[in-house]
Amino acid sequence: MVNSFYYNGSQYIPRSENDGIKGFLLASMASSTIMSTLPAFGKPFNNQLIKEHSRNDFYKDAFIKSINISGLDKLGVKINPAQYFNDMSDVCCGQNATYTPSKKIITINTDKISIAGFHEAGHALNDLKGKFGKILSKLRYPGYVAAAWMGLVAMFSRSKPKDAPRDAMDIVKDNCGKIAFACWLPTVIEEGMASYKGIKLAKKTGLAKPLIKNMKKLYAKALLTYAGYATATGLAVGAASMIMDYFTRPKKVNDDLFSQEFF
């Protein structure tokens, strides 16, 4: 109890370096265990997307038409057919599709996953036609960066006693799990909006009801993937933070313990 200090009339013991290391290791383990559940969230989506390769013909013409129907062609949006890429990328193999706002290009293998194209067109509509969607899509990348920072903040040691006044940094430290989750929300909401608009657009192309139904299923699974990222990141950061708090926050000297040790 050599280094103990007083705060607000109570005696506290700062934590040892050893405690800090233990906390750091446990916090790293806990967060990586939680993050390892991520592939499970994406699995239903990936499985269905592969199955869609054999149903592509039902969707292809409607998707290509949808660019005109939505007016996206007049706004400069183009399809970049990924089947002609000479590489083994996810996009070329029909396991992913993307919309690039800076180039107004939907990159997609239209010989395999045209069903996903409507969702990408939905991203283009968010970006080019809706104010709210545009704001959300601009927040995506900063959100990822901030969520990653929260992962780092969670690993900082907590040098102040629990009841010490909080400054801005302490508030961030205390809430880093919730903040990390919130940082993912623009992405989750924008993804949901892109799917909603994509389905609406698909209906306009005259796609048959069972095909729309199948598409809704795929899009719901895609949203589950993003919601999974948000939840797992929030929980992983929150768990790491709780563990670091437990191992590094100065301990109040318990009156009973004090009397046992000294008397």
| Residue ranges that bind Zn ion, judged by CB under 5 A | 191
Least Å distance, CB 98 to Zn ion, is 8
DSSP character at residue 179: H
Least Å distance, CB 128 to Zn ion, is 15
Q: Rounded to 5 degrees, what are φ and ψ at 245?
A: -60, -45
Please tell me the distance from the alpha carbon of residue 16 to that of residue 107, in angstroms, as a whole number.
Answer: 54
Output 195 or 248, the one with its CB closest to Zn ion: 195
Least Å distance, CB 127 to Zn ion, is 11
Output 154 or 194, the one with its CB closest to Zn ion: 194
Q: Tell me which long-range contacts 97-104 makes (C-beta under 8 A, separation of at least 24).
A: 99/123, 99/124, 99/127, 101/127, 101/137, 104/75, 104/76, 104/77, 104/78, 104/128
Please tell me the distance from the alpha carbon of residue 55 to that of residue 35, in angstroms, as a whole number.
Answer: 33
Select from 67, 55, 39 the least CA-distant residue to 217: 55
Least Å distance, CB 119 to Zn ion, is 6
Output 127 or 191, the one with its CB closest to Zn ion: 191
Sign of torsion over alpha carbons 53, 59, 61, 65:
negative
Output 110 or 157, the one with its CB closest to Zn ion: 110
Least Å distance, CB 103 to Zn ion, is 16
Output 134 or 178, the one with its CB closest to Zn ion: 134
Beta bridge partner(s), residue 98: 107
Strand pairing of 78-81 and 105-108?
A: parallel
